Amino acid sequence: EAGVVQSPRYKIIEKKQPVAFWCNPISGHNTLYWYLQNLGQGPELLIRYENEEAVDDSQLPKDRFSAERLKGVDSTLKIQPAELGDSAVYLCASSAGQGATYEQYFGPGTRLTVT
């Protein structure tokens, strides 16, 4: 079974430029998450989708971040414009259900460097 796929793996951009990250979850997983992981820290949730609906986006900085999951499968996370402080690893995860007992499966992440 294929795992969670993310691309690109690495991205270097100048500040004020836009950037987008793509995620393809495990087949059949309706719940999709985007996390931000700063160096030396645990992942922090940015947004959670149930199918195509964003059910928790309270931690997403909506002035510059946006996300979509139009057909309830793939998802894209966008930053526009990027700031120096956005340099981090962006992780996508999926789970088979939205209940608290379900474990999440993570992709390899996209390491963003903003210069």
Instruction: Name the site residues for another protein (rule: CB under 8 A).
Output: 4, 6, 40-45, 56, 91, 93, 98-101, 103-109
Query: Strands of 5-7's sheet, edge to edge?
Result: 5-7, 19-24, 75-79, 65-68
Report the 10 Å Cβ neighbour count for 75. Answer: 25
Nearer CB in complex with another protein: 72/108 = 108
Nearer CB in complex with another protein: 7/81 = 7
Nearest approach in angstroms of CB 103 to another protein is 5
Nearest approach in angstroms of CB 16 to another protein is 28
DSSP letter string, 67-101: EE-TTSS-EEEEESS--GGG-EEEEEEEES-SSTT
Nearer CB in complex with another protein: 26/73 = 26
